[in-house]
Amino acid sequence: MTRVLVTGSAGFIGSHVVEALEAHGHEVTGLDLRSGADVRDAALLARLLPGTDVVVHQAAKVGLGVDVADLPDYASINVYGTAVLLAAMAAHDVERLVLASSMVVYGEGAYDCARHGRVRPGPRSAEDMARGSFEPRCPRCGDEMALATIGEDAPTDPRNAYATTKLAQEHLAANWARETGGTAVALRYHNVYGPRMPRDTPYSGVAAIFRSALEAGRAPRVFEDGGQTRDFVHVRDVAEANVAALTGGAPGTLAVYNIASGEPHTVGELAAALAAQRGGQEPVTTGEYRMGDVRHIVAAPHRAEAELGFRARVGFAEGMKEFATAPPA
């Protein structure tokens, strides 16, 4: 039995992680802001951490945010909170960390140009987006490109406050591991969905936004042309990845893993699947866009399977059928 402290234990992903850990026979202590327990509270951590074997750090402010007014909260909760946690772990000899990271640290996905090979385009311009030109082009020649899967060794390129703070968490975890000899594993979640997903806030994921529209009798509004490609991974699979990560990594290092289904779909396909399962209105493609969104990002999930023994089990059709009618969070 492993004694595990889970931060963000009452949240969407954290609550599923707690259930999975307990199902595997581990002893779990939860810490969550919803119950007044703040990961930035060093005195609280000093009471909770002694005797802990592993910290599974899920607590975070999520989503793209609304505007720059969100920056202090992202920095305080995600960066400062992680720093306080790691300092407390060092003080109380907790030697293993599993960190909830995100695919947003990559920025835009990977592409192959017929002339220049593997390339990473920069952010799309407002001018291109406004005229409906959504596909990135080769940054060297301007030609069209073929989408490729992105592996954990790809350069990072965070493009919004959330992404920047998730990458900062990884760097802090790597610092902690090097300086203490601890073992850190960062799980880069791709687009997580499933029961208990938060809704009706500017920070909700796209699956929750679409489902909320359908529940209200409205058509899901699909931005751009609906062709954005993502990897939608079920929350129960993500929870099992956290269990697998309890024994991953190596002392003194940070190991990173894509946590994904390996089955990419477009945002338009997501909206259509949810509408079909609920019997709701057909999605409407609006051409609207958000600066900071990326066009395509598809994971290479092979490292997690090879090193952690993790492979997603819930298929897209099965997961969407459940999520479309799951009780609201």
Taking only the tens place, the pLDDT of each residue in 36-83 is: 899 999 999 999 999 999 999 999 998 766 578 889 999 999 999 999
DSSP code for 292: T
Q: Is there a contact between 94 and 49 (Cβ–Cβ < 8 Å)?
A: yes
Q: Is there a contact between 232 and 261 (Cβ–Cβ < 8 Å)?
A: yes
Mean pLDDT of 149-159: 94
pLDDT(203) > 60: no
How confident is the model at residue 204, as a pLDDT?
A: 62
For the chain, what are the domain ranges? 2-109+150-325
CA dist 11 and 213 (Å) reads 22
Mean pLDDT of 269-288: 96
Confidence class of residue 201 from pLDDT cuts 50, 70 and 90?
low
Mean pLDDT of 150-162: 93
Confidence class of residue 329 from pLDDT cuts 50, 70 and 90?
low
Determine how β-strand 265-266 pairs with β-strand 229-230.
antiparallel
- What rounded mean pLDDT belongs to the chain? 94
Three-state DSSP class for 137?
A: coil
pLDDT(134) > 80: yes
CA dist 141 and 131 (Å) reads 20
How confident is the model at residue 205, as a pLDDT?
A: 82
What is 2-109+150-325's CATH topology? Rossmann fold (3.40.50)
pLDDT digits (tens, 9 = 90+) for 166-195: 999 999 999 999 999 999 999 999 999 999
Strands (E), 61-219: 96-102, 110-113, 117-119, 146-148, 183-189, 191-193
Q: Which residue has the tokens 């889970």?
A: 6
How confident is the model at residue 200, as a pLDDT?
A: 63
What pTM, to 2 d.p., does this model score? Answer: 0.95
Q: Which of 228, 238, 150 lies closest to 193 in space, CA to CA?
A: 238
Give the amino acid at 225: D
